[in-house]
Amino acid sequence: MSVDMSSQASDSNEEFEDDEDVVEGDIPDYYEDLDDDVAVEEPFDPEKYQFNCLTYRESQKVLSEEVNNVASALKVSPAVAKLVLVHFHWQVSQILERYKSNSSQLLCEAHTQPTSTCRSLTAGTSLQCGVCLQLVRRDSLLSLPCQHSFCKGCWEQHCTVLVKDGVGVEISCMAQECSLRMPEDFVLPLLPSEELKDKYRRYLFRDYVESHFQLQLCPGADCPIVIQVQEPRARRVQCSRCQEVFCFKCRQMYHAPTDCATIRKWLTKCADDSETANYISAHTKDCPKCNICIEKNGGCNHMQCSKCKHDFCWMCLGDWKTHGSEYYECSRYKENPDIVNQSQQAQAREALKKYLFYFERWENHNKSLQLEAQTYQRIQEKIQERVMNNLGTWIDWQYLQNAAKLLAKCRYTLQYTYPYAYYMESGPLKKLFEYQQAQLEAEIENLSWKVERADTYERGEPSANDRGDLENQMHIAEQKRRTLLKDFHDT
């Protein structure tokens, strides 16, 4: 994955940053570049996405340049320009075009200039504060361009309460039915302490970044990094500081090929229907031949009974010998064509049955990822042990590590195909998707089987056949994954 990481270092003295070292987790990054020896020759990568990781200071520089351009063009203060930019999501060209056609309408839409309705509510020349109703000296009254005058004490209390509640750019006039926004150069002098002023600046920065169509705050805990892109899309980005991986568009876990709205619906449904997990036996099943209880302790769905040596599929319990030709049926949910003519109760049962079908596979692949992360750690330890015992070099065994990484990467994509399939309308497109999904699943299980068996090698250097067979399976699995994403990601 080609990524621009030109801005990865940060000044330890920069505001909102610390200089703690980054400690990577035990679970490997599914998308970390693999060894060149097993690189896929396919030139097109559907997940390739250019982005920059900006420090706080670099982010401020990007924002300031746009603020100065807009302030100069609109002939307004930088504080007002920021409010206009936030309202229009920092689309500078759109702002300048709109300003040329109707400047007053633009400023009114951004709540930086009072509307005619707002002006009709003006308190006039009264020396009475509109909040506390006290008569005060004229120089103690403050107002925005809407001319709604209030005493300084009431303004201070208004701003203090809102800042303590975490409000930034949305602080507005106290007058009823007036939505005029308060620029930062009006708010800051009213805040009574430096602590509150610092909080307010942080909230402003948060609002500036969150409203910017090309920027996203890293969702990592206390991480100050900002991700910058040229074209905002639902693509995978990774923070250079805390290594957090997420979808740029929604800031949730990366979820290709499922789109942001669909994955939100799916995760909400899973949380709401969490009790349905009681219907699922996630960890143990009986051997379909000898009925002995079997616990799944690896990620591979190709199971072999330790007692009778029967090979079967963990998901459908079908005979593995014929499973290759039947794999499409295993991952495809069979709709009931007569369900529309049945009772509401029957339809509800069918809906639950469909949900459980996809949820079980979603959960199964999630568990497989956790188990295969353990396999990855074992492979790391065994490679180190073999190298220490002069049983080959690290380079000789590197292909096992690469295989485990690629397996996790492919299975992660496969896991997120199930929410996609659940919400797809029946038809030719869904049939094509299910076919490609089944092809990917078959190759992933073949790769998982080979990785787990390769993990059991005890001595000697790997044979050329062993390595070649595994690397060939890696190539096939990655090609299937890329093909599915190319055809269905962002469709």
To the nearest 10°, the Cα dihedral for 227, 232, 234, 239? -10
Looking at the chain, the number of H-run helices and the number of E-run strands are 15, 11
CA distances in angstroms from 286 to 69, 181, 211, 323, listed in the order given: 69, 65, 53, 18
In sequence order, what are the beta bridge partners of 228? 52, 215
Whole-number Å distance between alpha carbons of 406 and 398: 12
Q: Which residues contact 262 (CB under 8 A, 6 or more apart)?
A: 419, 420, 423
Amino acid at position 445, single letter = E
- Kindly report the CA angle at 433 between 428 and 437, in degrees rounded to 5? 150
Task: Look up residue 196 and give its two tokens.
Answer: 């509150």
- Kindly report the CA angle at 359 between 354 and 361, in degrees rounded to 5? 105
- Kindly report the CA angle at 378 between 376 and 383, in degrees rounded to 5? 95
Whole-number Å distance between alpha carbons of 173 and 115: 13
Q: What is the separation, in whole angstroms, between the first and last Cα of the chain?
A: 21
Q: Which residues are catalytic?
A: 300
